A and B are shown apart, each in its own frame.
Chain A
Amino acid sequence: MTQSFFEWMQGLSFSAWMLEETWASPIIQCMHLLALVAFAGAVLVVDMRLLGRGLIKTSTARLARELDRWMIWSFVALFVTGAPQVLSTALKQYYSPFFWWKMQIIVIGLVFTFTIRRRVAFAEEGTLGHWPKVVGVLSIGIWTSVSVWARLIGLLS
């Protein structure tokens, strides 16, 4: 079932176009990397604040509120630029364990970010003990592992 879905994606005319068009893949990969930088910055500034580092003179809630839209829109950009890469190399992705680990951790990361992390970041300062630090470490760990698996798809598949 899953394999036939990936075979269908690989067989799309868009996938063929992506592979045949010399500049399509490089341009989309560059845009994906720029979106990754924006996403990493938006996440890191808040995570470091949760750890009691970085911009400590500004409340975590204010930073989180301000950087939320940067985080969300850069993630949308990551998705929009990531999807064509998956389509054009669908079978390579299907057979790569790193792709599946990446997808699983992205789902965990999204759920974590929009539930626990959001609640902790918007909570009143000093009311949650050590939890902000735990959440900051987990958030950095989750999103770092996503970029590690993503890089390894291309290198070790």
Chain B
Amino acid sequence: MRSAFEWVDALPSSIALRESLNAYPTLLTTHVVSMCLFAGLIAFWDMRLVGLTLRKVPVSNIPTRLFPWALTGYGINLITGGLLLYSQPMRYYDNFYFWAKMALMAVAGFNMLWFHYATYKSVQAWDQGREIPMSARLAGVVSLVLWAGVVVTGRMMAYAGLMPEWWNNLNIGA
């Protein structure tokens, strides 16, 4: 794994991106704005499942009408995030919050797929009414917590000095 990060780190295009004055601010700003589009819409979808808001909107309306926009935001987020990683791979290699963010994203993606292919199949039964099944509510709560965790760990990546002690003891960067 480390050698792959080092290999990317030494690529001329990675170095060029790293040394560019404008690339980092542009990518990071676009990353934040696209996060607002993606996470903002997903948060309200999750809160609809939990029953906290938009209770008069049929549940099935949200994936069909809002997900294309949310996925556009997610796509931009992935591209800008990927380029940020590509430009400074060794900065993130030993960063606890980077790996925590990746793990949380993977679990959130799994939760989304599980919900889509299991719970959401019966949506017609609870689309209009207010009684949302417990499994859907649970998926909403789990999704809210996981995406909040992604946002938090993403912000914490800037704090290299605040890694957990046990992580530092692993000496991954050495």
Contacts and interface: CB of A to CB of B under 8 A. Distances in A.
A152 B29 contact: yes
B138 interface: no
A57 B25 contact: no
B53 A151 contact: no
Interface string B55-71: 11110011001100100
Contact of B162 (A26, A62, A66): A26
B41 interface: yes
Contacts of A29: 155
Given A29-B155, A67-B53, A38 B28 contact: no
A34 interface: yes
Contacts of B42: 41
B151 to A, nearest CB: 5
Contacts of A104: none
Interface in B138-162: 148, 151-152, 155-156, 159, 162
A151 B58 CA distance: 36
Nearest to A22: B162
Given A23-B162, A152-B29, A37 B36 contact: yes
A54 B68 CA distance: 9
A77 interface: no
Interface string A18-42: 0000110010011001101111111
A99 B10 CA distance: 36
Contact of B151 (A34, A151, A156): A34
Contact of B44 (A34, A41, A144, A148): A41
B113 interface: no
Interface string B26-53: 0011001101110111111000000001
A87 B162 CA distance: 22
Contacts of A75: none
A37 B42 CA distance: 10
B25 A156 contact: yes
B88 to A, nearest CB: 14
Given A30-B152, A58-B61, A70-B53, A147 B36 contact: yes
Contacts of B78: none
A54 B152 contact: no
Given A26-B159, A57-B61, A37 B69 contact: no
5 contacts: A37-B36, A41-B40, A41-B44, A57-B65, A63-B54
Given A37-B39, A45-B54, 9 more contacts: A23-B162, A26-B156, A36-B36, A37-B35, A38-B40, A55-B65, A66-B54, A67-B54, A155-B25
Interface of B: 24-25, 28-29, 32-33, 35-37, 39-44, 53-58, 61-62, 65-66, 69, 148, 151-152, 155-156, 159, 162
